Structure 1
Amino acid sequence: MTNPLARIESHPHEAKRLIGINYDQFLALVSLAEKRHREKQAEIEKNKVRIIAKGGGRKPEMSPKEGICLCLVYIRQKPIFEILGLLFDISKTKANDAFNYWVDILREILPASQIEEASVDSQKYQELQQMLSEYELIVDSAEQATARPVDYQEQKRYYSGKKKMHTLKNQFIVLPGGEDIVDICVGMLGKTSDINLFRVFRDTRNKFADSQRFIGDKAYIGDDAITTPHKKRKNTEISEFQKQENKQLSSRRIAVEHMICRVKIFRVASEKFRLARHRYSQVILAVCGLIRLRLNRLVSLTINT
């Protein structure tokens, strides 16, 4: 069975299909992840009480490059861990451990949104808020199926009447044209309505300027900050002018649908989520970081495609 890393090294043009990013982006990601890996290992070494001499003990079965490739294969293809272990010639337990270790590193080095990336510097954050206020940002949400909770009360909290299943809901806010992810809210209860998700998320975090405007679909009707389509009332028809306005609004709003589609290219973000629920936010935010890497939107990691 061919090792996925050997495959993309011998056929670089297949990297995007197998791991979700092109080969040059993969190499740049490996370089950044290895640096963070060395930092984490140095921190562990500093606090370790040694029993054997440094350099002794069992050698790691996987190189950092293989570990990162394993993590990306799972995120993109979502095989079971038995198959993932066979692909990389390790046990399913070690495959699971490797995935969890490297997805945490990806999460640390790949900001999931513009706001997260700018939040480390107050001046850059204020500049970003000012820049964003010049646009009408596009907002929409997407649901992902999850395992049904055992407890009945928990089942009711996660049950989505729209999807007729138990789901987790994510809200995306993107730039016009879908050029980048501005902000994302991950892992909310499936029964939460879109407009309530927007209000709670926006008002509690205060991430946008008061003058910020948004574009949304009919699920957001009722919020003054969001431009929404005209809705046909019972036993009435909307005018031709209103239909034309709806069409123009839809042509602008479609960008957020395209962004959600890019996220769902990674099967871990589109198929039923079967990992532990407390890992959901970490994994989906790592996927968003990979999307921004694909779009060359990361300030710390810019690749020419």
Structure 2
Amino acid sequence: MMLNIEGALKQDRLLRALTGLNRKAFDALLPTFTTMYLDTQQAKPRQRGLGGGRKARLLTAQDKLFFILFYFKCYPTFDVAGLLFDMHRSQAHEWMHRLQPILEAALGQKMALPERHLESIEAFLSRFPGVQRVMIDGTERPIARPQEREQQQQNYSGKKKRHTRKHLEEQLMKPNGS
């Protein structure tokens, strides 16, 4: 049993549900991904002769691109990904780690990668000019159990089942950046 990739590629709604891309975007990314994949394959020497080893389940670059996009869209366990793509979970793990940098390079070349790290508030405001208020959510950090009962109740986290301090930061911003 293997996921019908060709069938998924023919149905735009299904393709978007499985990979996050429509057919036009998928087809636009495919040549860049293929080039990047072939470049990485040529950089490594073959470990086996031609025709040796197990027959690949992801035969074409299209199959490989579909697999890695599916993985990042749905985040299945390797057991589930292996079942859907008719391979062992260790092979699904290997394919994910092999294809991830290739996908990132292809998306970077297409200028489609999200910016994940902004250096300053000014950079944030230039990227998102209409923002007026930002809430930065933090984490609950454990603290020593307070001696006073009122402080104990105030700092007890039912979620963490211990005494914590909630580190939340809120910053107000005006549209002009000041």
TM-score by length of 2: 0.60
Measured against aligned partners, the alpha-carbon deviations of 1:189-238 in whole angstroms (never above 9, x if no partner) come to xx8755xxxxxxxxxxxxxxxxxxxxxxxx114xxxx32xxxxxxxxxxx
Aligned-partner residue type, residue 106 of structure 2: I
Measured against aligned partners, the alpha-carbon deviations of 1:7-61 in whole angstroms (never above 9, x if no partner) come to 31342342111211101211222221111011111222xxx3x6765x3533533
Which residue is 1:68 aligned to?
A: 65
In structure 2, relative to structure 1, the CA distance for the partners of 1:51 and 1:114 (3 Å cut) is closer
Which residue is 2:77 aligned to?
A: 80
In structure 2, relative to structure 1, the CA distance for the partners of 1:60 and 1:114 (3 Å cut) is same
Aligned-partner residue type, residue 88 of structure 2: S
Q: Take 2:47 and 2:98, find their aligned partners in 1: how far apart are those partners? A: 24
Local SS of the residue matching 1:220? strand
Which residue is 2:8 aligned to?
A: 8
Structure 1: runs of 5 or more not aligned: 117-128, 146-154, 166-190, 195-218, 228-248, 250-305
Aligned pairs, number: 141
Structure 2: runs of 5 or more not aligned: 118-122, 143-155, 161-165
Task: Report how far residue 109 of structure 1 moved.
Answer: 2.1
In structure 2, relative to structure 1, the CA distance for the partners of 1:18 and 1:140 (3 Å cut) is farther
TM-score by length of 1: 0.38
Q: Take 1:6 and 1:143, find their aligned partners in 2: how far apart are those partners? A: 42
1:95 aligns with 2:92: yes
Local SS of the residue matching 1:110? helix
Residues 3 and 87 in structure 1, CA contact (< 8 A), matched pair in contact too = yes
Which residue is 2:171 aligned to?
A: 220
In structure 2, relative to structure 1, the CA distance for the partners of 1:69 and 1:141 (3 Å cut) is farther
Q: Take 1:141 and 1:43, find their aligned partners in 2: how far apart are those partners? A: 46
Residues 2 and 87 in structure 1, CA contact (< 8 A), matched pair in contact too = yes
Greater Rg by CA = 2
Which residue is 1:35 aligned to?
A: 35
Q: Take 2:17 and 2:33, find their aligned partners in 1: how far apart are those partners? A: 21
Which residue is 1:24 aligned to?
A: 24
Task: Report how far residue 136 of structure 1 moved.
Answer: 2.7
Residues 32 and 106 in structure 2, CA contact (< 8 A), matched pair in contact too = yes
Local SS of the residue matching 1:60? coil
In structure 2, relative to structure 1, the CA distance for the partners of 1:24 and 1:85 (3 Å cut) is same
Measured against aligned partners, the alpha-carbon deviations of 1:127-183 in whole angstroms (never above 9, x if no partner) come to xx8xx49x73648577799xxxxxxxxx86xxxx99x56xxxxxxxxxxxxxxxxxx
In structure 2, relative to structure 1, the CA distance for the partners of 1:4 and 1:113 (3 Å cut) is same
Q: Take 2:6 and 2:58, find their aligned partners in 1: how far apart are those partners? A: 13
Residues 5 and 63 in structure 2, CA contact (< 8 A), matched pair in contact too = yes
Q: Take 2:30 and 2:9, find their aligned partners in 1: how far apart are those partners? A: 13
Q: Take 1:52 and 1:31, find their aligned partners in 2: how far apart are those partners? A: 27
